[in-house]
Amino acid sequence: MRPLVFAGNWKMNIGPVEAREYLRAFFSAGEIPRERSVWFFPPAVSIEAVAQGIAGHRNVLVGAQDIYWEPKGAFTGAISGPLATQAGARLTLIGHSERRHVFGETDQETGKKIKAALAADLQPVLCVGETLTQREAGETLAVVTRQLEAAFAGGWGGTKGRVTIAYEPVWAIGTGRNATPKDAADVHRSIRGWLKTHATSAAAFLILYGGSVNLKNAAELLAEPELDGVLVGGASLDPRGWAELVRTAVA
Ligand code: PEP
């Protein structure tokens, strides 16, 4: 078995009380295979409960869904890298499609957030991906490259093996339509090529695919060696289904 990451983005679901129940059900569903890592991205209010619930479980980490770039101050409603770290987060999503397209986050803002994450010792998971219109116009690689350039415009900090990119085509998120393994692999190959040319650190990069991954299509997607894992929204919300996906997706 090759090492794989299974990242679950709970979005605005599962509060702290539910998170404790979720983790009990998830861990009671069976052992996580040695080569697999599981990352949970709960809403900010549940990070601490998840950090406590995963303590002692190997290869399981918790992350924030988003951070603001300032470390502290008068920014009502936001959480910073140091605050997320204090709650137990080790990672953070940056530039998730819903941050970009629902909340209007710009490429430049993702750059500030990447810098802030690295400064706070949080492993960033940068989400990139094109809309359907951009895909149909043949702009997928141009969009993804622009997003990568903006995100790392501030440099690579002390990334030491700690940068993950999640390729998530916007048209595939929450829609039940997923990219084919070949389509995903083609974009992953380009992202890897870009990273090899531009990264100024010795970091080992992971590239995950996200967009309507579920129990039925995960194995087929993960059979594609370009995928180092998956970032999953809807199908990570049920602890037993998620545990089954993590344990059984054959790669
Ligand atoms: C996501 O939230 O990153 C995601 C990929 O969602 P879904 O799996 O529901 O498409």
A 10 A CB-CB count for 18 gives: 15
| Residue appearing with tokens 């009502």 | 76
Q: Residue of the nearest CA to atom 4 in ligand 1?
A: 233
pLDDT (tens digit, 9 = 90+) per residue, 14-46? 999 999 999 999 999 988 999 999 999 999 999
Phi (first) and psi of residue 116, to 5 degrees: -65, -40
The pLDDT score that the predictor gives to residue 36 is 95
Average pLDDT over residues 122-144: 96
Q: Give pLDDT tens digits for 212-225.
A: 999 999 999 999 99
Q: Which of 109, 130, 168, 188 is catalytic?
A: 168
Per-residue pLDDT band at 179 (split at 50, 70, 90)? confident
Pocket lining for ligand 1, CB < 6 angstroms: 9, 11, 168, 173-174, 210-213, 231-235
Give the separation between CA 87 and CA 81, rounded to whole angstroms: 10
Return the best residue to mutate from 11, 39, 227 for the ligand 1 pocket (most ligand atoms within 8 A of CB): 11
Q: Compute, in angstroms, the gap from residue 13 CA to the centroid of ligand 1.
A: 13
pLDDT class of 202 with cuts at 50, 70, 90: low
What confidence category does residue 161 fall into, taking pLDDT thresholds of 50, 70 and 90? low
The pTM of this model reads: 0.95
List beta partners, residue 113. none
Task: Identify the H or E element spanning 18.
Answer: helix 16-28
Q: 145-160: per-residue pLDDT in tens?
A: 999 999 999 888 765 6
Strand pairing category for 123-128 and 4-9: unpaired
Mean per-residue pLDDT of the chain:
94
The pLDDT, as a whole number, for residue 249 is 82
Provide the phi-psi class of 122: left if phi over 0, else alpha when psi is between -120 and 50, else beta.
Answer: beta
Q: Which residues contact 54 (CB under 8 A, 6 or more apart)?
A: 23, 40, 60, 61, 62
pLDDT for position 97? 96
Does the annotation count 188 as an active-site position? no
Please tell me the number of Cα atoms within 13 Å of 6 on its side-chain side.
Answer: 32
DSSP code string of 216-247:
TTHHHHHTSTT--EEEESGGGSSHHHHHHHHH
